[in-house]
Amino acid sequence: MNQKTVFFDLDGTLLGTRNGRRFQIPPSALRALRRLRENGHRIAVCSGRQETFIHKFFPGLFRSFVALNGAHVVYEGKTVLNRVLTPEQIRRLIAHFQPFGCRFVFVGRLHGWTYHVPPQLYPRMEEIYGLPGYLIPRWEPEQIQAGTMDFIFETEEEYDRCAGAFTGGLIINRHPGGLTSDLSFPDWNKAKGIEAFLRCSGIPKEDTIAFGDGYNDLPMMDAVGYAVAMGNAVDEIKQKADYVTAPIFEDGIEKGLKHLGLL
């Protein structure tokens, strides 16, 4: 069998909330990742999360990743793409979302820059990001070094008020039971990140596989040779996938890789 490169989403795919505890990684998933690598295959993250988060929760495991929904791409420890919103793009995005009353964060590798987010939400958001001191409340557009955006919806009513802003290929990925939702741009998403990864590495698309569960994984499913949906995935991902494995906490990663003959 040719060496395969397997991309894994994080939230809802490799880690999730269980018994009220965030960022739980199933032991079977860690075991499967290590065996997959021992069997000569390449493992990579493909997530809306940032590099610092990946290294914090998976220390020493991943040397390749597509982070920030495709804005930051690293192949075997070398950065091959680092797209950053320009000050003019920042201003245009604020002008677009402001009339809808949206609250959001410009998400970067080291920090997140908040817009109209009240201080009382910061403790919850810091917990969600898993990176203490990550959020910056006061800034100028020229100071921002961000590759994507997260949106804050405390209630369904707030989401309904903002929903009209997400048009023209903007994909909002709502996190189940959570406060934040991440954004993919039509020309700046996981698929574009994987394409940059493959161009740099010379890996053919047919030798790639992806595991995912959320709306921001929809572009990723088309960018790889074989797509696997987690059993806990949204219906749209299940419909697009080539195979649906078990849910995250029912050994979905391990079972999916065994089904593919990689373990």
Res. 77: pLDDT tops 70: yes
Q: Can you tell me the distance from the alpha carbon of 235 to that of 220, in angstroms, rounded to the nearest whole number?
A: 15
Res. 159: pLDDT tops 70: yes
Res. 33: pLDDT tops 70: yes
Among the three residues 128, 163, 184, which one is the final residue of a domain in this structure?
A: 184
- Tell me which residue range forms the domain holding 148: 87-184
Distance set, CA 219 to CA 54, 59, 74, 105, 170 (Å): 21, 27, 19, 22, 12
Q: Where are the alpha helices (DSSP H) in the chain?
A: 27-38, 51-57, 87-97, 122-129, 156-162, 190-201, 218-223, 235-240, 252-259
Contact 74, 65 (CB under 8 A): yes
Res. 74: pLDDT tops 70: yes
Which residue type, as a one-letter code, is found at position 92?
R
Among the three residues 153, 184, 215, which one is the final residue of a domain in this structure?
A: 184
Residues 3-15, mean pLDDT to the nearest whole number = 97
| CATH number assigned to the domain comprising residue 226 | 3.40.50.1000
Nearest of 186, 151, 235, 159 to residue 70 by alpha carbon: 186
Q: Can you tell me the distance from the alpha carbon of 173 to that of 182, in angstroms, rounded to the nearest whole number?
A: 5
pLDDT tens, 42-73?
A: 999 999 999 999 999 999 999 999 999 999 99
Answer yes or no: do 111 and 178 share one domain.
Answer: yes
Answer yes or no: do 103 and 178 share one domain.
Answer: yes
pTM of the shown model = 0.94
Count of structural domains, the chain: 2
Among the three residues 144, 160, 184, which one is the final residue of a domain in this structure?
A: 184
